[in-house]
Amino acid sequence: MSNKRFILNSSRSSDQGKLINVGKYSPEYQALTNSMTMAAEDMAEIGLAEGQTALVRTEFGEATFVCQSGKVPLGMIFIPYGPPTCRLMGGVTDGTGMPTSKGWEVEVVPQ
């Protein structure tokens, strides 16, 4: 396990909205939901290069994502909703029908 922890925030992106017309099984949509964005400084700190894959692990599960740098606050990662993020979230919905998808403390392990 790495020593550095990050806060995961996941939501729908505007690109997802555009790609929904192409279909969730399209290569473009799959590439989007299998990517994560983090600050370049955080990437450098943990030895993660642009386009490299990283394992993201929560207390509920893990998934692999392709990393890209972007305008994200230090200590945070952003991943668009999709099947991979579902493996990271717990099943408790507090009656809303949607598990908590923001504010998860995660481990990011370069691969």
Q: Is the pLDDT of residue 27 over 60?
A: yes
Which residues face 104 on adjacent strands?
A: 8
User: Binning pLDDT at 50, 70 and 90, where does residue 1 land?
Assistant: very low
* CATH label of the domain that carries residue 102: 2.40.40.20
Which residues 6+ apart lie within 8 Å of 15 measured at CB? 32, 80
pLDDT at 32: 84
The count of domains in the chain is 1
Between residues 19 and 110, the one the model is more confident about: 110
User: Domain of 16?
Assistant: 5-110
pTM of the model: 0.81
Token pair belonging to 47: 């030895």
> How does 18-38 read in b/e, with b if 16+ C-beta sit within 10 Å?
ebeeeeeeeeebbebbbbbbb
pLDDT tens for each residue of 33-69:
899 999 999 999 999 999 999 999 998 899 999 999 9
pLDDT at 70: 96
